[in-house]
């Protein structure tokens, strides 16, 4: 197809990423005696502090914070925001992260005082709207994943993983079953093995075959009565659907193990196939990926965990439930593993996700995945001459390309390509993950980017290939047009300066 539009929406090359100079810290801007706070007039008796609190508790020193005018505070954080790439600014094809457009409507829903001024400890009858919201979201997530019940408490994907592993543990223990190992493919996200350790299990790594999929024979060889379960991402982290999932599920279930579905890549399969139908027993979802809640620069996310009926009684509590009269109340599942969050989870994220699901409906969610998969495959094929795919076949919502060709020909590595893309007005893809692909560049364009944006991305990569030929040294120094150029990471680790007080600015 020919795309002629010269002004694609997703390319941020015109954006004001300022910063020839660094922005001072708020502490450097501070002037003693300046302030911006204003508090309510309360007319509460102004009892002196030493009559309120025994002296042994009082701090003789004052904890120093920055002292700024409101105008300087606004300038500071506005300028910081100009030194930051974001989805709203341009395309963010970061593989495995599903950085799709975050609808503003969903943010507006969560900003409603009827939701965000409710104290989490109020009795259920004072939060009937919230409880209905939670129950409705749980029901819809169960429809989407093909599961029976869910907890909404986990605050992010990794929290969901650990919750899922504790459910696995509780289930086996209830059956008087002692199991010690959890299987994980070698392509898995790092959170999987880290969560397994915290869940009290040992990791057994299963190799991938040359098609990028779980090696079924190796899997079967690793199975035994000591296996608690397997954690799988499907499509997996190279963006490929595990086509032998039915055989995998049978094999794991045959030894009494459970299947855990890492929902990091759920955006590929909405309305096409459900984890429950594939045989999974436990599923976590990253609402900040698939259901478009904004990522916040690294959270808040939300990582609900849905389970099949045989695990429902173990879910964390308390949990919102529908009563026979149509009202809502808190209940604890009979064999609950207990709370996994201080309150009810990242409630505002949950509200945004429900708004997103309701706008799309079943039909819209299906289209989301169709377009995500279409975009990824189009980009994979469009780039096949410059960055050949690690696995030359239909991918799902993301594709793992490799920079080995550029490396062999010009000494330009995947990292150089990623950094040069930043100069081109695009966020970089995920670099060097998964570990099983050499010079991996994982692109996840997401469904909300237009064909014009994808074409502009492809053209940018072709320009980088030309630079690799003409000026490979220049690419090693990219990016130069960003707020800072490549940073000295070794120095940061060697000489840790994690606070202003460690910086010794004088």
Partner 1 sequence: MADYLPHTQDEVDAMLAFLGMTSFEQLFDHIPAAVRLSQGLDLPAGQSEPDVADYFSRLTRANKGQSSLLTCFAGAGAYDHEVPAVVKMLGSRSEFVTAYTPYQPEVAQGVLQAIFEYQTMVARLSGLPIANASLYDGATALVEALNMAAGATQRQKMVISSGVHPHWREVAKTFAAGTGHEILEVPLANGVTQWDSVDMGDAAAVIAAYPNYLGVLEDLTAAKRHSVAHDALFVIAADPVAAGVLKTAGQWGADVFVGEGQPFGTPLAFGGPYLGLFACSTDQVRRLPGRIVGETVDSSDRRAFVTTLRAREQDIRREKATSNVCTNQTLMAVTAAIQLGWLGTQGLREVALRCAQGARYLFDEACKVDGVTPANRAPFFREFALRLPKSANEVLRAMCDDGVLGGLSVGELCHGDDPSIEHGENVVLVTVTERRTVEQIDHYVDTLRKVVR
Does residue 296 interact with partner 1 by CB under 8 A? yes
Does residue 488 interact with partner 1 by CB under 8 A? yes
7 vs 493, beta carbon nearer partner 1: 493
Query: Residue from 252, 353, 368, 383 that binds partner 1 (CB under 8 A)?
Result: 368
C-alpha to C-alpha distance for 201 and 220, rounded to whole angstroms: 19
Does residue 471 interact with partner 1 by CB under 8 A? no
C-alpha to C-alpha distance for 352 and 294, rounded to whole angstroms: 9
313 vs 358, beta carbon nearer partner 1: 358
Query: Residue from 210, 324, 489, 506 that binds partner 1 (CB under 8 A)?
Result: 489
Q: What is the smallest separation between the CB atom of 15 and partner 1, expressed in angstroms?
A: 10
Q: What is the smallest separation between the CB atom of 110 and partner 1, expressed in angstroms?
A: 8
Query: Residue from 219, 228, 245, 475 that binds partner 1 (CB under 8 A)?
Result: 245
- Label the pairing between strands 227-232 and 258-263: parallel
Query: Residue from 137, 149, 321, 357 that binds partner 1 (CB under 8 A)?
Result: 357
Query: Residue from 322, 335, 463, 486 that binds partner 1 (CB under 8 A)?
Result: 486
C-alpha to C-alpha distance for 284 and 264, rounded to whole angstroms: 8
C-alpha to C-alpha distance for 109 and 357, rounded to whole angstroms: 13
Q: What is the DSSP letter of 6?
A: S
Query: Residue from 178, 221, 409, 484 that binds partner 1 (CB under 8 A)?
Result: 484
Residues 86 to 145: which contact partner 1 by CB under 8 A?
Answer: 86-89, 92, 94, 97, 99, 101-103, 105, 107-109, 112-123, 125-130, 132-133, 140, 143-144
The structure tokens 């984890």 sit at: 275
Does residue 331 interact with partner 1 by CB under 8 A? no
Does residue 491 interact with partner 1 by CB under 8 A? yes
C-alpha to C-alpha distance for 249 and 244, rounded to whole angstroms: 9
Closest to 425 measured CA to CA, from 9, 8, 13: 13
Residues 407-436 as x/- pattern, contact with partner 1 by CB under 8 A = -----------xx--x----xx----x---
371 vs 463, beta carbon nearer partner 1: 371
Q: What is the smallest separation between the CB atom of 290 and partner 1, expressed in angstroms?
A: 13
464 token code pair: 């980088």
Residues 207 to 236: which contact partner 1 by CB under 8 A?
Answer: none
9 vs 388, beta carbon nearer partner 1: 9
Does residue 67 interact with partner 1 by CB under 8 A? yes
Contact in structure between 303 and 284 (CB atoms under 8 Å): yes
Q: Where are the alpha helices (DSSP H) in 87-180?
A: 104-110, 113-116, 128-145, 157-174
94 vs 147, beta carbon nearer partner 1: 94
Residues whose CB is less than 8 angstroms from the CB of residue 293 and which lie 6 or more positions away in sequence, other chains included: 102, 106, 287, 301, 302, 349, 352, 353, 356
Contact in structure between 136 and 231 (CB atoms under 8 Å): no
C-alpha to C-alpha distance for 270 and 372, rounded to whole angstroms: 10
Decide: residue 483, CB within 10 A, 0-12 exposed, 13-18 middle, 19+ buried.
Answer: middle
């Amino acid at each position: 197809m020919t795309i002629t539009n010269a002004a694609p929406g997703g390319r941020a090359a015109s954006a004001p990423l300022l910063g020839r100079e660094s922005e001072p810290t708020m502490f450097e801007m501070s002037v003693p005696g300046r302030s911006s706070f204003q508090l309510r007039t309360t007319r509460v008796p102004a009892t002196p502090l030493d009559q309120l609190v025994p002296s042994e508790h009082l701090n003789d020193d004052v904890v120093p914070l920055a002292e700024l005018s409101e105008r300087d505070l606004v300038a500071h954080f506005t300028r910081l925001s100009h030194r930051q790439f974001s989805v709203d600014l341009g395309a963010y094809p970061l593989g495995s992260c599903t950085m799709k457009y975050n609808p503003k409507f969903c943010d507006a829903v969560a900003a409603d005082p009827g939701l965000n001024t409710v104290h989490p400890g109020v009795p259920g009858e004072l939060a009937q709207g919230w409880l209905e919201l939670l129950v409705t979201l749980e029901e819809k997530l169960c429809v989407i994943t093909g599961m029976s019940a869910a907890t909404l408490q986990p605050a992010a994907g990794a929290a969901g993983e650990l919750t899922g592993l504790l459910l696995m543990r509780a289930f086996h223990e209830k059956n008087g079953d002692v199991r010690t190992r959890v299987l994980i493919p070698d392509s898995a996200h790092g959170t999987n093995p880290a969560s397994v350790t915290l869940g009290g299990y040992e990791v057994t790594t299963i190799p991938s075959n040359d098609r990028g999929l779980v090696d079924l024979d190796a899997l079967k060889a690793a199975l035994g009565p000591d296996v608690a379960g397997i954690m799988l991402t499907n499509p997996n982290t190279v963006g490929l659907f595990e086509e032998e999932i039915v055989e995998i599920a049978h094999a794991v279930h045959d030894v009494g193990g459970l299947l855990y579905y890492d929902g990091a890549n759920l955006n590929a399969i909405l309305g096409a196939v459900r984890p429950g139908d594939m045989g999974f027993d436990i599923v976590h979802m990253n609402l900040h990926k698939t259901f478009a809640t904004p990522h916040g620069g690294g959270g808040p996310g939300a990582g609900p965990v849905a389970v099949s009926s045989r695990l429902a009684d173990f879910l964390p509590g308390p949990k919102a439930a529908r009563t026979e009269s149509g009202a809502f109340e808190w209940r604890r599942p009979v064999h609950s593993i207990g709370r996994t969050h201080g309150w009810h989870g990242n409630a505002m994220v949950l509200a945004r996700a429900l708004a997103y699901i309701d706008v799309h409906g079943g039909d819209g969610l299906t289209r989301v995945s169709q377009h995500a998969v279409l975009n990824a495959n189009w980009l994979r094929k469009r780039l096949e001459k410059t960055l050949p795919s690690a696995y030359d076949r239909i991918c799902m919502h993301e594709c793992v390309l490799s920079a080995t060709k550029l490396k062999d020909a010009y000494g330009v590595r995947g990292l150089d390509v990623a950094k040069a893309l930043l100069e081109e007005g695009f966020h970089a893809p995920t670099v060097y993950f998964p570990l099983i692909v050499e010079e991996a560049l994982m692109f996840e364009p997401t469904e909300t980017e237009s064909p014009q944006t994808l074409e502009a991305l492809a053209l940018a990569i072709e320009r980088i290939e030309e630079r690799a030929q003409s000026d490979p040294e220049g690419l090693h120094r990219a990016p130069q047009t960003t707020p800072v150029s490549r940073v000295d990471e070794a120095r940061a680790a060697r000489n840790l300066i994690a606070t202003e007080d460690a910086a010794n600015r004088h």
